Chains A and B, each alone.
Chain A
Amino acid sequence: MARPGGHPLVAGTGDVMAVLTSTIAWFLDPAHWTGVDGVPSRTGEHVILSVLAVVIASAIALPAGLVVGHADRGERIATAVAGIGRAVPSYALLILFVPFFGLGFSSALPALVLLAIPPILVNTVTGIRDVDADTVEAGRGMGMTGREVLMDVEVPAALPVIIVGLRTSAVQVVATTTLAALVAGGGLGRYIVDGFARQQDDRIVAGAFLVAVLAIVTERFFTWIQRQLEGRPGTLRLDVPIAPSPFGGRVAD
């Protein structure tokens, strides 16, 4: 049904300035900063769901990655599992989960966890496996047990790569959490989905902008953590290429 007036994005007239002006007005409207549908509330929901997804994924993928990397076997299986996880679209999973888990976060969370696992798993395995063989051998020569080699030699050396995995995963999750809104979930995706449904371009653009800001903040946060760790004595400084990130193939600095 057509609505008289706006919707340049959907109508395709492409009046960018009009959209930008109305989006700025949207942000300046105090009504958009209070209540359940306000920016603080929606951002909070978005952060909670994203953090939960990454934490649960880490609880699964970190131990699995450490074991596989340390044993230096089963890597193919881990990579295959990660590959399947990457190949299946989160949107499809989300809709498939609704009959089992119900509306909202209960379906969105498992879908996001499955999205979050592959980068953490792959980077943990690769990080541990690629630790300099001589260093590991030196540890063994000093009489360290396998567990000590893993926790005191391999993990510190692999940490930059593991953190990059977490970073990639977290940024993907923050961007994808928007999908929760399609199944009556909250989060910043609410603005995008509702904006399309109500033909309100300002709402769509505001939502997209907030998600982008949150994704950049997440990326910066993990980069900061990485810097803190690199500054610490006892941590190996490795110039390792990182997993592909949505912000281009940066190199750990």
Chain B
Amino acid sequence: MRHIRTAVLGAAILALIVSACSLGGGSQASRGTIASQLSLAGPPECPERPFCLKGLTATYGITFKEFKPTDAGGPITIEALKRGDAQVGLLFTSDPAIAVNGFVLLRDDKQLQLADNLVPVVRQAAIDANPVITDALNGVMAKIDQATLTDLNKQVTVDGSAAADVAKAWLDAQGFTFSGGSGTVKVGSTNFYEQEILGEIYAQVLEQAGLTVERKFQLGSREIVFPALESGDIDILAEYAATALEFVNKGAGEASTDPVATVAKLNERLVGMGGLVALDPAAATDQNGFVVTRETADKFGLVSISDLAKPAP
């Protein structure tokens, strides 16, 4: 018994001493920029990604006091911001949590993020059979701005409505009158709420136009949905311009901050992929956005990302 007591007590004391030392050593906040007093919460890969911490340092000259690896725009990042464990967080620009929690989305004034505007990618064969698809999807996308997309997402993730109901209510309010479709078309989506809402909107507007729609939702990553588009397992998918372009060109760096130019490049690449075509991009984006709490924004006067590089008060 004495051995045990000594061993356990010794281990506990050692552990406490070592942890106290490590806590004490980490808290030297260097004077300098505003960012040097703040912690950033984001996905674990953020320090290595050009559109995350790496790009913030390269484009904006920002280094934070600490990086806290959390999740990709998920609940852990949001909790970290709410509790003040981190002051800056990486969320997605269409995340309703930004508005719900009163976070401030910092303006990307040096245009670090590429144009991840929403854009439908469609099989040319489906359009040839039903030209109304082009009109209907372009009509829909013309109406989806950032506020609309965020609100649609909020209705599903915060209010708990079903994606199909949210899509129907929104379409009813628009009063589209597309017609002349016939036959069957397969609408796909990847596996998160925004994709399912957009999939439902595409599906329902095409059903109103007279087509029969087969829904193939919750399909997973681009590694799954792009082959499905090429092989004709799905005909229509809501995509994000810059990320889709850099996926199909295998990271050639052709995407820019201009949505129209990015979609034009995307179409050049898609021609070679079994006859796919990207239609018109929406104004709404879903891309990396750096947010702070209202309190932090007021304290340091933060409006845009470059404000973080200003000298601390």
Contacts and interface: CB of A to CB of B under 8 A. Distances in A.
A229 B18 contact: no
Given A95-B76, A103-B76, A225-B3, A198 B45 contact: yes
A55 B12 contact: yes
Interface in B74-128: 75-76, 79-80, 82-83, 85-86
Nearest to A221: B7
Given A58-B8, A184-B80, A52 B1 contact: no
Interface residues on A, range: 35 or more
Nearest to B16: A52
A14 to B, nearest CB: 16
B293 interface: no
Contacts of B1: 155-156, 159
Contact of B83 (A47, A102, A156, A190): A102
Contacts of A4: 250-251
Interface string A170-190: 000000000001111000001
A1 B70 contact: no
Contacts of B284: none
Nearest to B70: A184
B3 A228 contact: yes
Nearest to B84: A102
B121 to A, nearest CB: 16
A217 interface: no
Contacts of A190: 69
Contacts of B68: 103-104, 184
Given A95-B76, A184-B68, A194-B44, A51 B12 contact: yes
Most buried by B among A11, A44, A155, A184: A184
Interface of A: 1-4, 11, 44-45, 47-48, 51-52, 55, 58, 95, 98-99, 102-104, 155-156, 159, 163, 181-184, 190, 193-194, 196-198, 225, 228-229
